[in-house]
Amino acid sequence: MEIKMKNTKSGFRLKSASLVACMAIASATAANATTYKSYPMLYMTLPPSDEPTVNLAGLIEPTYADSSEANLKNNFAFDRLRIGFVGNYSRNVDYFFMSEWAPNAITAKSGGGAQAFLAHLTFKDLLGATNLAVGSMAVPMGYDFYAPTPNSPWITYADHSYNLYGCGSIDCTADMPNNIFTNIWKPGLMVFDQIDFATGGSLTYTAGVYNTTGTLFTDNRVERKDFNGSLEYKHGDFMAMYGTRIGSSRDTDLWRESRDRTRHALSFMYKDYRTDRWWLWAEYMRAKDEQEANVADIKADGYFVAGGVKPTDKTLIAYRHSYFDPNKDLNNNTRRVNSIIGTYKMDNGIRLQAQFDKASEDSNFSGAIYPGDTFMLRVQLPLFVKLK
């Protein structure tokens, strides 16, 4: 993560920052920097400092939703209420601490405030060869869910991302609009680094192991063990990323044996949605969940294709078409959503976003996260103050 401050008459404001989603530092993009920095580097590392540093970071996201679904009709909620600290402990050790006050995926489902505290340390340039993060961290796989929320081009994610990456189960319940993301933040350890080539371009790798119930603390009866890895290649305007999850899940109340699960994700991007006037983005994800004895494994997949254009420096209009099949063995069991999204950027990282999803489902489809047509409106209020 790279942070640059600019002194103005009204105090300090962010000039060019690449933001960690959970920390909500107002973000422009790493593409403005001299060299490209991948998301794992931005999430986990700060510029080196010979002295300890302390930065206060936070994010407020009030969101309004209206849908044919009863519990999303004229619904107002805070998707994120985060406050915490990030900084350098020493030149080669960065720290991160964040509390979440909104009743979302990171807090307990019964919510009430500040039930989740996320923290990790990053040991940089370990043995001169790699970086090591230890603690609770954002787990990379699909590029879409790994993108920081304050510069994501849309409010909601595609159904396959919610199900196959977010809740981690192919047969997710329609637990709307929050509390399904048990696999995004996980305690564990991860090695990662970005290798820049002299001829141009870069290759970023991550490899991590996680032994946890996930971030949904009410889900303590489910034991999950996972390996996650990713590779990202970036050269010029083109980016490609592959991510995988290989693990097992066991419900200690219901299942005697662990059930295996695998995930594979491919992401492609031409130009940068954060900075360029126009861009194209596509993602495909495939999954398999083992079932009980003598029951066939469930296989699912999904994709989205998207594009956006910036009529002005402050506005973005994006379109996304997504497809999700939660069981490849069933016929007439798919869901397609066409989304139109508008974003308006204000000063100090404040963003206004509106999104309309038009959904169509086959007769046998079930388990949608946002059934029916949905309109959402969100305000993003980031906070970043350099204390030391």
pLDDT tens profile 201-238: 999 999 999 875 544 444 445 666 789 999 999 999 99
Which two structure tokens, joined as six digits, stand for 9?
A: 């008459």
The pLDDT value recorded for residue 1 is 33
Superfamily for domain range 5-386: Porin (2.40.160.10)
Q: Which of 236, 224, 229 is nearest to 261 (CA)?
A: 224
The pLDDT value recorded for residue 10 is 31
The pLDDT value recorded for residue 292 is 78
Higher pLDDT, 67 or 317: 317
The pLDDT value recorded for residue 118 is 82
Higher pLDDT, 308 or 333: 308
pLDDT tens profile 2-57: 333 333 333 333 333 333 433 333 333 333 334 789 999 988 999 999 899 999 99
pLDDT tens profile 244-288: 988 877 666 665 677 788 899 999 999 999 889 999 999 999 999
pLDDT > 70 in the chain, percent: 76
Write down the domain spans for the chain.
5-386
The pLDDT value recorded for residue 27 is 36
Cα separation, 281 vs 308, in Å, equals 9
pLDDT tens profile 58-105: 999 999 988 876 666 788 888 888 999 999 999 999 999 988 887 665
Query: How many helices (H) and strands (E) are present in the chain, helices listed first?
Result: 3, 18
The pLDDT value recorded for residue 251 is 66
Check pLDDT > 60 for residue 347: yes
Cβ(155)–Cβ(353) below 8 Å: yes
Cα separation, 167 vs 173, in Å, equals 9
Return the SS3 of 162: helix
Which two structure tokens, joined as six digits, stand for 87?
A: 């900084």
What is the rounded average pLDDT for all residues in the chain?
Answer: 80
- Taken as a whole, the chain contains a residue count of 388
Residue with tokens 């299942």: 255
The pLDDT value recorded for residue 9 is 33
pLDDT > 90 in the chain, percent: 44
The pLDDT value recorded for residue 283 is 97
**Alpha helix stretches (DSSP H) within the chain:** 39-44, 143-146, 159-160
pLDDT band at 106 (very low <50, low <70, confident <90, very high): low
The pLDDT value recorded for residue 168 is 65
Cα separation, 308 vs 340, in Å, equals 10
The pLDDT value recorded for residue 222 is 61
Higher pLDDT, 332 or 224: 332
Check pLDDT > 80 for residue 148: yes
